[in-house]
Amino acid sequence: MKSETSYWVKTVQNGLIGGAIAMLLSLIGIVLAFGKTYIIIGLFSMGQVFVFTPIILESFVSARKAPSKNALTLLLLGGLSGLMGGVVLVVMIALQQVINLRSVLINLSPDLIALLTFKLPLALGLFVLIIAAVVIGVISAAFLLLPARIRGALSQAILTIVILGLFRDLIVTVITHWGFVRYAFLWLFALSGLSIPGVIVVFVVVGGLFYWRLGRKPKPVVKARTIQQQRLIRWGPMAVLGIIGLLLPVILGSYFSEILDNVGIYILMGLGLNIVVGFAGLLDLGYVAFYAIGAYTLGVFTTSEAVGIWHLNFWAATPIALIVAVFAGVILGLPVLRMRGDYLAIVTLGFGEIIRILVLSDWLKPLLGGSEGIQRIAQPSIGSFIFGNQQRLYYLILIGIILAGFISVRLKDSHLGRSWMALREDEDVAQAMGINKVATKLLAFAMGALFSGLGGALFATKIGSVYPQSFSFIVSINILSLIIIGGMGSIPGVFIGGLALVGLPLLLSQFADFRYLIYGAALVAMMLVKPEGLSPEARRRLELHEEIKEVPYEEPASVLKTPGELGGR
C-alpha cells in the first residue's frame, strides 16, 4: 500500500512542522513570557499552552486527514506526530547543552528549558517531555473518535478554561468591586489562573451547557413578529449597548478608562480608514499622516508654550485641525488617484513617512518642536467642567465614535457609498456608469482624513503633548490590521478589531511585547483562511467566496435560476 506508507511520511512531516512551530514560539520568547501565567494553578501555564498547541493541532490534522479510519491507526498517527514534535524540542534543548547557543538565541535560557522539562532534572525532564508529547498526540487523535456533540462540548469547556485562566487578573479586579456577590466567584480563581475546584466546576458547567445546547434541535428561524416587537429587537440591544457605553468608565475605574480611551481613538480612526480601504478599496498605508497632522495642528494652536500660535482653546482648534487634515487628504488624494492597489499603498506609505521625517527635522523645529514635540496642550472644558481625566475624556471620544459611526452607517448604503463600492469592484465599469471617479475617490480620502485628524486631535488632548515618535508607520499598520481582522467594510468589525487588537495587548501586559508579531501573523492567517474578516460585510463575503452560489431560501418559480445571476456581481 504505497499511499499508506506515504501517509506515515506525511505524518512525520506534520509532527516536525508542529515541533518547529513550538520551537519558534519558544525561541521568540512567547513561551517564557507566559511561563508564570498559570491557567490552572500549579498544573500548567499559558506558556505550556503555547508549546503544546501546535503539536496538538498537527496531531489532530494528521489523524483527520488519514485515509484509513481504523481507530488504532488514528491513535498511532497522532502519537507519531506528537513524538516528532517532542523530538524537535528535545533536540533543541540537547543542542543547547552541547554548544552554548544562548549568546545568539537570547531566549534559550535555563528558565525556558526548566519550563519545557517540567522543572525536572534534565534527562528525566527530556524523557517526560517526549512522553507528554506522545500522549498529547494520542489524545488529540482520540478526540477525533469522539461523537461530535461531546467533542464540541469538550473543546468549548477547554477554551473557556484557558480564557478564564488567562484573564484571571482582570476578572478578579472587576469582581472585587461587586460587593458580597464576589464571594460566589472569587473561589474559582487562585493567585494565578484558576483553582483546582474552580477548573472542575467550570469544566462541568460549560461542558454540560454546550452538551445540552448542541443536542437541541434548531428552531425554525422565521417567526411572525409585530412591528412593535421588530422595533424592540432592532433598538433594544442598541439602547442597552448605549447605556453600557455611557456607564463604562464609572464601572471600570480610571485604569481601564485609559485603555478604553486608547481603544476608542483607534476605533475612531478605524472607522475612518474603513471608509478608505473597506468602502472605496484604496489601500492607504500612510493613514498615520492625517493623525499626525490633526494632533500637531491642535498642538500648535492650543499649547501655552512658545512654539504655539494663537493659543486657542480645544473647541476652536479642533475644527482647524480637521480642516487641515482634510486639506492634506485632498492634496495627497489628487495626485495618487490614478494609481491602484500596490502603487497607491507605497505612495501613501511614503507620504506618511515624509510627514514624520518633516516633523522630526531641525528645519521645522521652530514651529513643531522637533524631537521634543509640543507640550502643555490645553485641556478642553465646557464652562467650569474640564475634561481633565481619562474618565471624562472618554465621553469626548465616545461622541467622536458615535459621529463617525453614524456617518459611516449612513454613507454605506447612500449613493456615495454605492459609488465607492462600484469603484472598488471595477473602476472602468463604474466610470462608464457615470460615476465621477475623481470626486468620489477624493471624498473617500477626505472622509478618512477627517476622522483620522479627529483621532489625532483627541489623542493630543488625551496625552497633553505630541511627540513625533507617536506617529510611526506602525500606527497605520495597527489601524489597518484592526479593520482587516474585523472585516473590511464592516462597521461592527471595526469595533471587534479595535477591542481585540488594541484592547487585548493593553489588558494583558505579557502580550505587549509580541503585539506586532501577533498582528503580522494574524494578518497572514486571516488572508489565508478568512479574508473577509471576523465580522464580514455581506458583499465582501460574496466577492471572496464566489464559488458558493447556493441561496439559503427556496426561490419562487418565476425567478430566473441561472447560477450566474445569483453571484451578486
Partner 1 sequence: MLRTLRQRITLTDIFIWVIGLAIAGVVIWGTIRTLELGQYSGSTWLDLTIKGLALGGVYALIAMGYTMVYGILKMINFAHSEVFMSGPFTTVFVALGLSNSGFLDKQPIISLLIMTLVSAGISTTIAILLERLCYRPLRSAPRLVPLITAIGASFFLQYAFKGVFGSGVYGYPEIKSLEQSWTFGGIQIYETQLVVIFGAIAMMLVLFGIVQWTKIGKAMRAVSEDKEAAELMGINVDRIIVFTFALGGASAGVAGILYTLLFPVVNFFMGFFPGIKAFTAAVLGGIGNVPGAFLGSIILGLLESIGPNLFLTGLGVPSPSQLKDAIAFIVLVLILIFRPTGILGERISQDKA
- The residue ranges that bind partner 1 (CB under 8 A) are 24, 27-30, 103-107, 281, 283, 285, 334-343, 345-347, 349-351, 353-354, 357-358, 360-363, 365, 438, 473, 477, 480-481, 484, 513-514, 516-517, 519-524, 526-528, 531, 543-544
Query: CB-wise, 179 or 434, nearer to partner 1?
Result: 434
Q: Provide, rounded to whole angstroms, the least separation between the CB of residue 464 and partner 1.
A: 27
Query: CB-wise, 233 or 524, nearer to partner 1?
Result: 524
Mention every residue, 6+ apart, whose C-beta is less than 8 A from residue 331. Answer: none
How far apart are alpha carbons 324 and 461 in whole angstroms?
A: 17
How far apart are alpha carbons 284 and 448 in whole angstroms?
A: 10
Query: CB-wise, 144 or 289, nearer to partner 1?
Result: 289
Q: Provide, rounded to whole angstroms, the least separation between the CB of residue 105 and partner 1.
A: 6
Query: CB-wise, 260 or 292, nearer to partner 1?
Result: 292
DSSP secondary structure letters along 509-555: HHHHTTHHHHHHHHHHHHHHH-TT-SS--HHHHHHHTTT----SSPP
Neighbours of 309 (CB within 10 A): 10
Q: Provide, rounded to whole angstroms, the least separation between the CB of residue 23 and partner 1.
A: 10
Query: CB-wise, 290 or 519, nearer to partner 1?
Result: 519
How far apart are alpha carbons 49 and 257 in whole angstroms?
A: 30
Backbone region of residue 331 per phi and psi (left: phi > 0; alpha: psi in -120 to 50; beta: other values): alpha
Instruction: Look up cell 458615535; give the residue.
Output: 402
Instruction: Look up cell 490645553; give the residue.
Output: 378
Q: Provide, rounded to whole angstroms, the least separation between the CB of residue 514 and partner 1.
A: 7
Q: Provide, rounded to whole angstroms, the least separation between the CB of residue 104 and partner 1.
A: 5
Q: Provide, rounded to whole angstroms, the least separation between the CB of residue 177 and partner 1.
A: 36
Backbone region of residue 341 per phi and psi (left: phi > 0; alpha: psi in -120 to 50; beta: other values): left
Query: CB-wise, 241 or 334, nearer to partner 1?
Result: 334
3-state secondary structure 427-475: HHHHHHCCCCHHHHHHHHHHHHHHHHHHHHHHHHHHHCCECHHHHCHHH
Q: Provide, rounded to whole angstroms, the least separation between the CB of residue 357 and partner 1.
A: 4
How far apart are alpha carbons 161 and 498 in whole angstroms?
A: 24
Q: Provide, rounded to whole angstroms, the least separation between the CB of residue 353 and partner 1.
A: 6
Alpha-carbon radius of gyration of the chain:
27
What does the longest C-alpha to C-alpha distance in the chain come to?
84
Query: CB-wise, 304 or 371, nearer to partner 1?
Result: 371
Query: CB-wise, 316 or 474, nearer to partner 1?
Result: 474
Query: CB-wise, 508 or 517, nearer to partner 1?
Result: 517
The amino acid occupying position 68 is: S
Query: CB-wise, 238 or 354, nearer to partner 1?
Result: 354
Query: CB-wise, 72 or 528, nearer to partner 1?
Result: 528
How far apart are alpha carbons 542 and 390 in whole angstroms?
A: 41
Helix (H, G, I), strand (E, B) or coil at 289: helix
Element (H, E) at 386: strand 385-386
Q: Provide, rounded to whole angstroms, the least separation between the CB of residue 26 and partner 1.
A: 10
How far apart are alpha carbons 279 and 68 in whole angstroms?
A: 47
Q: Provide, rounded to whole angstroms, the least separation between the CB of residue 543 and partner 1.
A: 7
